[in-house]
Structures are given as C-alpha cells and as structure tokens.
Homo-oligomer: A and B are copies of this chain.
Amino acid sequence: MSPHTAPAPVLADHACLIVHGPDQPGIVSAVAALLTRNRGNIVTLDQYSSDPVGGDFFQRVVFHRPELVAAFGEIEADLAATLEPFGLQWKLTDLSVPKRMAILASTSDHCLLDLLWRHRRGELPVTVPMVISNHTNTAEDVRTFGVPFFHVPSQAGPDKSASEAEMLKLLAGNVDFVVLARYMQVISGDFLDRLGVPVINIHHSFLPAFIGAAPYRKAKERGVKLIGATAHYVTEDLDEGPIIEQDVVRVTHGDTVAELQRRGADVERAVLSRAVAWHAEERVIRQGNHTIVF
C-alpha cells in the first residue's frame, strides 16, 4: 500500500482537559470559569458522577484556544491553582500532537492491517513509529504502509526477559502507548513497569467468558450462540484489566471452530480499532478496574 498517508486527524489549537476526583458542588462552575478566563471556547463537554454525594466525578472537555501552545503553561498553572483545593486530578493534552502508537503483532494480520489502514485513512490521531513482531510474515505489508518493522523473536521457555529487554530498547521513550494486535506472547509485569505507558490488548472472547487460551475452541465446546471480542488495558493479571470496548456476533451450531475464528476476526479488528481511536482521542479514563468512556 502507498506510504502516502493522510495527516492524522489532529486539531490545531485544541486541547483536551480531563478532570477527576471526589464529586462536590462547584466543580463544573470552577472549570468553566477557568476556561472562560483563559479564552478557551468549549467544543465538547462530557461528565459523569458515580454519585453526586460522595461519589467520583469525571469530566472531559475539548476546547479551542487561539495560540494554545503559547498559553499552555499558563493554563496548566491556573488548573493547578484552581483544582487543587477541590482535591481533583487533571490532565491537559494538546490535541495538535498525535500520540505515538507502537503495535506488537504475531502471525495474524487482521488487527494489525486494520489499524495501519485506518491510520493511513486519517481516522486515528496517531503516528506509528514501529511495528514489532515475533514473526516476519507481516514485514512487507507493514513496510508498504511506510511503517518500520522490527523482528524480535520469542524466547523459548518461560523466561522472556531477553526478548522483552530487546523490545524495551526499541520502545523506550519512543511511544505513548502500545497496542497488542493479537500478539500471542504473555507480557511480564516487569515489562509493563519498565515500559511505563498504557498497553491495549484485544482478547478474542467476550470477557469474562473464556479467559486464557483458545477461546474459540472453548466457545464451540460450550455451544454459545454469540461470540465476541474485548479490548482492555493490560495489567499483570491476564485478561483482567479494565475493559474499553466489547462486541459480539451471532453464530450457529453449524459454525466450526475455524469459522468462529474467521467471523471473530471481524469483531476483533472492529473492537480494537474503536478502543484505539477512543484511547488516542483521550476519551477513556481508567478508574481502578473500570473505564469511563466519553
């Protein structure tokens, strides 16, 4: 495919403000007043409170501010001064800067190519500095998209420290988040800690059903009438991280395991693409083992 890609759908002079913490009267008013006095014009605003009394408050505001870059530090200082008294956490993101997304893959290409294709179409506000795979079969496809491909073979045996170290050398400092696009290796907690950026995985079942290996075979054995896929943040506990998105497709008694895999692949790439877009657009807030998706 052509390396000529559409520009990522970044937004010049737009920022995304995420606020969360204990709900209490006056937060919305304080944030809105802050934006007004900093010449920010609100484009979208979403908020959620788990309970107006004693609950958790979450807000996402996208606002336009001429000459945002010049004013960024000033706005941050105002946010710190304004929101600290409320005990709130906040994060201000410049939406003119695409996030740097690395993709880890194995032999399957459906999730990998769908992400690269959507990136090329300009659907994802990201750059893709690299794809790493423990196999080589997708190298040519990846490079045709103008994306560097690195081959890091899996280590035999349970100790993955050498291959993880090799991947960390490639990733460290170069990426803002990592996507496991049907990467079929277990990731160690140590790797996650050292990596220090969010990792999104696609699991090929409707979690918490069919945790672990071979979910389509398990689905066939149980005789379910729907199969699904789940995109989630990776934590040390396999398939237990916060869920970002899920979807299902109807199947019948007549579908073989191979047909479940083929039909499931369509759900996997759709679910992962949505989750990646939402993460890249700062729409997902993690709260314990949950996500707030605005």
Contact = CB atoms under 8 A, between A and B. Distances in A.
Interface of A: 1-2, 25-26, 28-29, 31-33, 35-36, 39, 41-49, 52-53, 64, 110, 113, 117, 121, 123, 137, 140-141, 144, 206-210, 222-226, 228, 242-248, 252-254, 262, 266, 270, 289-293
Contacts of A43: 49, 52
A117 B137 CA distance: 15
A277 to B, nearest CB: 10
23 contacts: A1-B113, A1-B141, A1-B144, A2-B140, A2-B141, A25-B36, A25-B41, A28-B32, A43-B49, A43-B52, A44-B47, A44-B48, A44-B49, A46-B46, A208-B209, A224-B243, A225-B243, A225-B293, A226-B228, A226-B246, A253-B290, A253-B292, A253-B293
Q: Tell me how many chains of this kind the complex includes.
A: 4
B49 A223 contact: no
B29 A33 contact: yes
Interface class of chain A by DSSP: mixed
A292 B223 CA distance: 9
Contact of A45 (B45, B141, B253): B45
A121 B108 CA distance: 10
A238 to B, nearest CB: 14
Contact of A52 (B26, B42, B117): B42
Contacts of A117: 113
A179 B32 CA distance: 39
Contacts of A44: 47-49
Contacts of A121: 110
B209 A1 contact: no
Minimum-distance CB pairs A-B, first 6: A29-B32, A223-B290, A209-B209, A29-B36, A32-B32, A28-B32
